[in-house]
Amino acid sequence: MLNVKNEVLVRVYLVAAMILVAAFVIFWRLLQLSVVEAPVWREKAKNLYMKWVDVQADRGNILADDGSLLATSLPFFNVHWDAKAEGLTDEVFNTQAVDSLAWLLSTHVDQQYTPGAYRDWLVELRNAPKDTRGIRYVPIAKDLPYNKALLVKTFPIFREGRYKGGFILEQNPRRERPFKILAQRTIGYTREGALPVGLEGSFDKVLGGSLGKQLRIRVPGDVYIPVNDLAEIEPEAGADVVTTLDINIQDVTENALLNACRTHNADHGCAIVMEVKTGKIRAVANIGRTPEGWWETYNYAIGERVEPGSMFKLASFMAMLEDGFINNFEEAVPVYGGKVKIYKEELVDAVPHGMDTMTIKQVFAMSSNVGTATLVQQHYGKGRAPNFVERLKSFGLDLPTNIEVGGEETPILKHPNDPKSDWSGTTLPWMSIGYEMLLTPLQMLAFYNAVANDGRMMKPYLVQRTERYGEVLKEFRPTVVKRSIASKTTIAKAKELLKSVVQKGGTAHGIQSPYYTIAGKTGTAQLNYHKFKASKGIRHQASFCGFFPADNPVYSCIVVISEPQRGGYHGAEVAAPVFRQIADKCFAMKPELHEPINAQKPEKLKTHQLPTYDAGSTADMQNALRRLGLDYFLEGELTDWTVITAASGDSLVLRHRGVSDNTVPSVIGMGLKDAIYLLENRGCKVKAVGIGKVRRQSLAVGTRASGQTCVLYLE
């Protein structure tokens, strides 16, 4: 029994020893592979001849509001040739095929080479050693349009396909903009090695779709070529992005801004047009001066935080209105001749006026820095500055718009309770006129748009929906940021102030239109100042922000032009005319800006406007008067023919006109149809001269009708 047990133990030990030896061998081999032989295997890994590569999907389109293409991908193709393709035999590659291929390449692909030169090159490639670098991926043509690529595919040898002819066709889509630089910066781009910009960048995943997979084989020259023409895993095409941009308004805005930048030799400028009720951005224009000319180099409208200057005075006056400090616009305010010292710092009005006092409405309309600062200092000074800043925040002026494109920064409003704000004794009066704060043009416009929209602040947005093949994937609707930024009374009075700027005596009275009303505010900010003490070379920023038509706003708009160097620098003479040009074109193009002609009950016609001595069929005359809503009286008993005469006042009288069966009747006052009917029925021939009603006839009334010709003179 003991011997059996010992024998079992020996066997167990033997098996355990064998397992240990095997484990040691495996461990040793792993050590060799991962450490000793690692460089060898890494080199072999590099020489693996097949791998999967990503295939880009067709990128989606960016569309305007009406469906016009703003950005799209057009298919272009690169053609390569595998001179050592497995199925390309010498029988296929015969002299006649090479000659034909060479002639076609010289004729349709690159005419700078002769057919003979192409032939020699092709034969040289075919006869080269198989391991020659690049021999299996020879470039033939680059960026061919679709129809040209199809033509090349029919050439001799190439038409045999990938394996028998060595033909390699690869798609290389190119992003194109049918409207060229229109809204260029807003549309944006995505480039390798660069930050994504605009809608292309913000909606890159939506537009880009999902990648596919294609198997490629490694050939000499460390190049991977497709195994098949088609991808093994097809990519999913990107979705389309439909924007709120209006092509016509965008074009008008860009042209008006560009002309102003050229005229005033400005450094750069921007303009935005927004739909008041919805917050839809209808146009965004950015123009900057470069060594190559004017271009959209940066999205100033969304990404440039600046001190807004006098445009901000609207917020200051609304704060005082909302807090009950202003009740009467005719109240006098001291303006000290347009110059005053505050804590040893001098504050001056932009335009000299020499007035000692102004009414509150004049202070706003004439954009008096002194008057505005005096009022704000009077009501919010002595420890009440936090109330002023909190009121500004209640207007939404501390909020970013969160527009879909990147680059927007949060507004900066100083606060006296914030130690980082660098608050001083002069901060409050200077804030009241738009300094010591930073806002982007779009953020400023959102505030003005809320005033135009009766206090409701809308989120500005650029994208309405995403869709694929016409099917909506996601829809973006108007978003209310604040239901009311101020009371209805304050909003109504704010609109009244904004209208006064564009009326007689206001800084922007020069842009009044006889066809519609404008409400807005000019702005002239000094860029390089320290409490209005300029450093070397004074630089200015001209601006205008407002909405139109003033009584029933449809669009709001802001124009900001930086560093104008000729033709003035004030907002009224640089930016306001651009606003007017944009508004004029919008008014001409958009029916919604026009009041319907039948919106109001028509006034009664005056005596001189009434029809006089019109004659014709009684039934026709009565029907016409009834349709026109004109009252009339009957004089005597009427027959088939009637004449209208005007009585005193605004009355019309219908009188009988006698018509004989045998003599020439009077057709004076009739239309040509009735006149011909009467005369030809009595045997007369008719000749008409002129257009309108009959004013004279050649045959006397009462003449016996016997086939004569009657000439009718119409006016």
How high is the pLDDT of residue 665? 87
Whether 213 is covered by a domain: the verdict is yes
**What is the C-alpha separation between 475 and 137, in angstroms, rounded?**
46
For residue 678, give Cα distances in angstroms to 239, 472, 660, 667. Answer: 71, 66, 10, 8
Whether 112 is covered by a domain: the verdict is yes
285 and 344 share one domain: yes
Q: Which two tokens stand for residue 143?
A: 């960026």
213 and 113 share one domain: yes
Q: What is the CATH number of the domain that holds 111?
A: 3.90.1310.10
Q: Which candidate, 711, 709, 707, places its Cα nearest to that of 683?
A: 707
DSSP single-letter state for residue 671: -
Confidence bin at 231 (pLDDT 50/70/90):
low
146 and 193 share one domain: yes
Q: Which range scores top for mean pLDDT: 410-424, 533-547, 618-632, 645-659? A: 410-424
Boundary of a domain, candidates 194, 225, 242 = 242
Boundary of a domain, candidates 195, 211, 242 = 242
Q: Supply the mean pLDDT for the chain.
A: 87
**pLDDT at 134 exceeding the cut of 90:** no
Q: Which candidate, 592, 405, 579, places its Cα nearest to that of 501?
A: 579
564 and 647 share one domain: no
Instruction: Strands of 34-104 (E only): list them.
Output: 50-55, 62-63, 69-74, 76-81
pLDDT tens-place string over residues 151-186: 999 999 999 888 888 898 888 888 888 888 888 889
Locate tokens 């260029």: which residue? Answer: 184
Q: What is the DSSP track for 312-333?
A: GHHHHHHHHHHTTS---TT-EE
How high is the pLDDT of residue 532? 46
274 and 206 share one domain: no
DSSP single-letter state for residue 197: B
For residue 98, give Cα distances in angstroms to 80, 107, 156, 160, 166. Answer: 16, 14, 8, 13, 13
363 and 511 share one domain: yes
How high is the pLDDT of residue 450? 98
284 and 163 share one domain: no
232 and 266 share one domain: no
Read off the amino acid at residue 561.
I
What is the DSSP pairing of strand 709-714 with strand 223-226? unpaired
Q: Is 382 helix (H, G, I), strand (E, B) or coil?
A: coil
pLDDT tens-place string over residues 447-477: 999 999 999 999 999 999 999 988 999 999 9
541 and 676 share one domain: no
Radius of gyration over alpha carbons of the chain, in Å?
Answer: 42
Whether 121 is covered by a domain: the verdict is yes
**pLDDT at 5 exceeding the cut of 70:** no
Q: What is the DSSP track for 512-535?
A: --SSS--EEEEEEEESSEETTEE-
Q: Is 472 helix (H, G, I), strand (E, B) or coil?
A: strand
274 and 237 share one domain: no
Please tell me the total count of domains within the chain.
Answer: 3
Boundary of a domain, candidates 223, 242, 261 = 242
Whether 276 is covered by a domain: the verdict is yes
Q: Which range scores top for mean pLDDT: 31-45, 196-210, 359-373? A: 359-373
Among 227-231, 242-246, 422-426, 690-694, whose mean pLDDT is lowest? 227-231
Phi, psi of 107 (to 5 degrees): -85, -40
**pLDDT at 713 exceeding the cut of 80:** yes
454 and 335 share one domain: yes
How high is the pLDDT of residue 172? 83
Residue 159 CB contacts under 8 Å (≥ 6 apart), including other chains: 153, 165, 167
- Could you tell me what percent of the chain has a pLDDT over 70? 92
Whether 31 is covered by a domain: the verdict is no
Whether 376 is covered by a domain: the verdict is no
Burial class (CB in 10 A: 0-12, 13-18, 19+), 286: buried
Q: Which two tokens stand for residue 15?
A: 């098996």
CA dihedral 158, 160, 166, 170 (to 10 degrees): 70
Burial class (CB in 10 A: 0-12, 13-18, 19+), 14: exposed
Q: What is the CATH number of the domain that holds 262?
A: 3.40.710.10
What number is the average pLDDT over the span 507-530?
Answer: 89
Q: Which range scores top for mean pLDDT: 439-448, 465-474, 621-630? A: 439-448
236 and 350 share one domain: no
**What is the C-alpha separation between 142 and 174, in angstroms, rounded?**
12
How high is the pLDDT of residue 281? 97
pLDDT tens-place string over residues 236-245: 889 999 999 9
Phi, psi of 419 (to 5 degrees): -65, -20
How high is the pLDDT of residue 534? 44
Whether 506 is covered by a domain: the verdict is yes
Phi, psi of 154 (to 5 degrees): -90, -5
**What is the C-alpha separation between 169 and 173, in angstroms, rounded?**
13
How high is the pLDDT of residue 360? 95
Q: Which range marks the domain in which residue 497 is found?
A: 250-304+326-371+440-590
Whether 25 is covered by a domain: the verdict is no
**pLDDT at 216 exceeding the cut of 90:** no
**pLDDT at 531 exceeding the cut of 70:** no
